[in-house]
Amino acid sequence: MKKIYSFLVAALVTGLLLWVAGCGGSQQTAAPGSGGGKIQVKFSHVTSETSPKGQAALKFKELLEKSGQFEVQVFPSSQLFGDKEELEMLRADNVQFIAPSVTKLVGFVPAFQIVDMPFLFQNDRAAYAFYDGPAGQKLMRSLESHGMLGMAWWINGSKHFTNSKRPLQKPADFKGLKFRTQSGGVLDEQFKALGAGSQTIPFGEVYQALANKTVDGQENTFNNIDTQKYAEVQKYLTISGHGRLDYLVITNTKFWNKLTAEQQKIVRDALQEATAYERRLAEELNEKSKQNLLASGKLQVYQLTPADRQEFIKAMQPVYQKYTDVIGREYIEAAQKSGQ
């Protein structure tokens, strides 16, 4: 009886050992946030789901999930984190992707002020050439020491001037006017060089500030000017394309470094396709809004000529003298060459 009992115990132990070994042999290394299953990814942004950024984030989700290795949640309209929180939440790996306005990164790397440099990029194509070229890619990588990794440049578009006082055709026309700006030393210096004043006002309060004459004018993309209904409280539009409002898609190094080389390639490929999609949508939206503004009859429109542009570039030399070394001469020169 004892022999039978000993045989059964031995058989049971052997079976358990074989089962454990079998499980261990087939076990995969758990991916970040996966719990042993698909890799969980959160993408947070502050614009609406219908914006080019919002649509591109959904396209990224679709493409990434096709691989079968990722599960992506997209949180638009600050549903997860707002502008103030998202960068720190990214660095803590509480979210894996964000797409903030480029100027939000200036506190980490001052060179990101390049998008505010006046009359630096001739058009969208020149901006793309810089963003996708060696200098733009180097600038993205400069975030790595801060625990972040730039992945792709998404666009909002070129900025143009509006105001309620008079046509703005020459630098002298700006003298004495006051403009709303986003925060940033470059923008203040831009208007100072033109003899104008500036005031930092949150985006959501700009319409009221224009209506109340707190400021005389502002600078923005065609789409923002159109959808925010600034034509109701402004009389003049100058098509200047003098600055940029763009985004950077960012991940964090904690998340990224845990991915395999194959998984990193899947992410990069998905972002490449989503980026082309986002840029196309943004271009189409700005062109549509431009036509809306022209057709409205509410604004007197002036488009800067090449000669006008050169006059403005000359007027902006004090800005370049102050900020070229802050931003980096190599970046400024690369951006200037991007339009050639």
At 203-251, the pLDDT tens digits run: 889 999 999 999 999 999 999 999 999 999 999 999 999 999 999 999 9
Using alpha carbons only, give the angle 195, 198, 199 rounded to the nearest 5 degrees: 165
Closest CA to 152 of 275, 280, 335: 275
φ and ψ of 122, to 5 deg: -70, -35
pLDDT reading at 18 higher than 50: no
Q: Chain-wide mean pLDDT for the chain?
A: 90
CATH topology of domain 160-244+289-337: D-Maltodextrin-Binding Protein; domain 2 (3.40.190)
Give the strand pairing for 160-163 and 236-239: antiparallel
φ and ψ of 51, to 5 deg: -70, 160
pLDDT of residue 197: 97
pLDDT band at residue 300 under the 50/70/90 scheme? very high
Model's pTM, two decimal places? 0.85
Positive or negative, the CA dihedral 57, 59, 60, 64 is positive
pLDDT of residue 36: 56
Which CATH number applies to 39-156+245-286: 3.40.190.170, 3.40.50.300, 3.40.710.10, 2.60.40.420?
Answer: 3.40.190.170
Amino acid at residue number 123:
N
pLDDT reading at 14 higher than 60: no
Rounded to whole angstroms, the Cα distance separating 94 from 75 reads 13
pLDDT of residue 48: 87
Cβ contacts of 188 within 8 Å, gap of 6 or more: 181, 198
Cα-based torsion angle of the residue sequence 304, 305, 308, 309 in order, rounded to the nearest 10 degrees: 80
Average pLDDT over residues 119-126: 94
Average pLDDT over residues 160-182: 97
Q: Domain-by-domain residue ranges, the chain?
A: 39-156+245-286, 160-244+289-337
Domains 39-156+245-286 and 160-244+289-337 share a fold: yes
pLDDT band at residue 65 under the 50/70/90 scheme? very high
The model's pLDDT over 305-327, given as tens digits with 9 standing for 90+, comes to: 999 999 999 999 999 999 999 99
Question: Taking a C-beta distance cutoff of 8 angstroms, is the pair 160, 142 a contact?
Answer: no
Average pLDDT over residues 29-43: 69
Radius of gyration for the alpha carbons in the chain, expressed in angstroms and rounded: 26
pLDDT of residue 61: 98
Specify the higher pLDDT residue, 242 or 19: 242
pLDDT of residue 12: 42
Biggest alpha carbon–alpha carbon distance for the chain: 109
Helix ranges restricted to H, 119-173 = 124-132, 134-141
Using alpha carbons only, give the angle 300, 302, 303 rounded to the nearest 5 degrees: 150
Specify the higher pLDDT residue, 35 or 77: 77
> Could you tell me where the beta strands, DSSP code E, fall in the chain?
39-44, 70-75, 97-98, 148-158, 160-163, 178-181, 197-200, 217-220, 236-239, 244-252, 300-303
Instruction: Average the pLDDT over each of 33-42, 51-60, 66-75 and give the range with the smallest value.
Output: 33-42
Average pLDDT over residues 258-274: 98
Residue showing tokens 């396209």: 59
Distances (CA, A) of 73 to 38, 44, 61, 87, 294: 12, 8, 7, 18, 39
Rounded to whole angstroms, the Cα distance separating 3 from 185 reads 88
pLDDT of residue 204: 85
Tokens coding 167: 């046509």
pLDDT of residue 340: 75
pLDDT reading at 291 higher than 90: yes
Instruction: Average the pLDDT over each of 29-38, 261-270, 314-323 and give the range with the smallest value.
Output: 29-38
pLDDT reading at 4 higher than 50: no
pLDDT reading at 75 higher than 60: yes
